Amino acid sequence: MARGKLKPGFLITGGIIGLIIAVVLPLLLGGSWFWILCPILGVLLFTGVLFANRWLLTAAACLLVVGLVVIGLWTRVPVSNKESEDLKAVGSFINAEVQHLRMEYEKSLESYTLAIRLGLYHPWIEFQRARTYGYLGQEGEAFEGLFYMMKAPSKDFPLELLYSDYAVAAFNIGENDVGVRALNESINLNFRPASSYFKLGTFYKSQGKLLEADSAFQKAYRLGYEKSECSCKLAEIAFDLKEYGEAERLYKRAIREDLENTSAYNSFGMRLALQGRFSEAEDILKKGELIMLTAELKYDPILHTEILTNLAYVLAEKGDYEEAFQTYERIATEIPRGPDVKNPFVIFAYENWADLYLRLNQPALAYAKMKDAATVALTMNDTLNYYRIQRRLRAFSEPSSTSITPQP
CB 274 within 8 A of CB 258: no
Assess whether 247 and 291 both reside in one domain.
yes
**Residues spanned by the domain of 54:** 8-65
Q: In this predicted structure, what is the pLDDT of residue 343? A: 84
- Has residue 249 been placed in a domain? yes
Q: How many domains does the structure of the chain reveal?
A: 3
Q: In this predicted structure, what is the pLDDT of residue 400? A: 46
Among residues 153, 202, 159, 161, the alpha carbon closest in space to that of 180 is found at 202
CB 321 within 8 A of CB 360: yes
Assess whether 313 and 351 both reside in one domain.
no
Of 276, 304, 328, the position where a domain reaches its end is 328
Tell me if residue 138 falls in helix, strand or coil: coil
How far the first Cα of the chain sits from its last, in Å, is: 108
Of 35, 65, 95, the position where a domain reaches its end is 65
Q: In this predicted structure, what is the pLDDT of residue 82? A: 78
Assess whether 345 and 391 both reside in one domain.
yes
Among residues 94, 17, 93, 85, the alpha carbon closest in space to that of 50 is found at 17
Q: In this predicted structure, what is the pLDDT of residue 2? A: 44
Q: In this predicted structure, what is the pLDDT of residue 381? A: 84
Query: What is the pLDDT tens value at each position of the chain, 408 positions in all?
Result: 444 454 565 556 666 666 666 666 666 666 565 666 667 766 766 676 666 666 665 666 666 666 666 555 555 556 677 777 878 888 898 999 998 888 888 999 999 999 999 888 888 999 999 999 998 889 999 999 999 998 888 787 888 888 889 999 999 999 999 999 999 999 999 988 999 999 999 999 999 999 999 999 999 999 999 999 999 999 999 999 999 999 999 999 999 999 999 999 999 999 999 999 999 999 999 999 999 888 766 788 889 999 999 999 999 999 999 999 999 999 999 887 666 667 888 999 999 999 999 999 999 999 999 999 999 998 888 889 999 999 988 887 544 443 333 333
88-121: burial string, b at 16+ Cβ within 10 Å, e else: ebeebbebbbebbeeeebeebbbbbebbbebebe
Of 45, 65, 85, the position where a domain reaches its end is 65
Tell me if residue 273 falls in helix, strand or coil: helix
- Has residue 224 been placed in a domain? no
Assess whether 298 and 372 both reside in one domain.
no
- Has residue 377 been placed in a domain? yes
Among residues 344, 369, 345, 343, the alpha carbon closest in space to that of 355 is found at 369
| Residue type, position 184, single letter | N
CATH code of the domain in which 276 resides: 1.25.40.10
Assess whether 247 and 307 both reside in one domain.
yes
- Has residue 300 been placed in a domain? yes
- Has residue 26 been placed in a domain? yes
- Has residue 138 been placed in a domain? no
Q: In this predicted structure, what is the pLDDT of residue 325? A: 96
- Has residue 121 been placed in a domain? no
Assess whether 310 and 341 both reside in one domain.
no
CB 128 within 8 A of CB 136: no
Q: Give the pTM.
A: 0.71
- Has residue 283 been placed in a domain? yes
Measure the CA–CA gap between 335 and 5, rounded to whole angstroms: 77
Assess whether 268 and 316 both reside in one domain.
yes
Q: Cα-flanking dihedrals φ and ψ of residue 117, to 5°?
A: -65, -30
Assess whether 340 and 324 both reside in one domain.
no
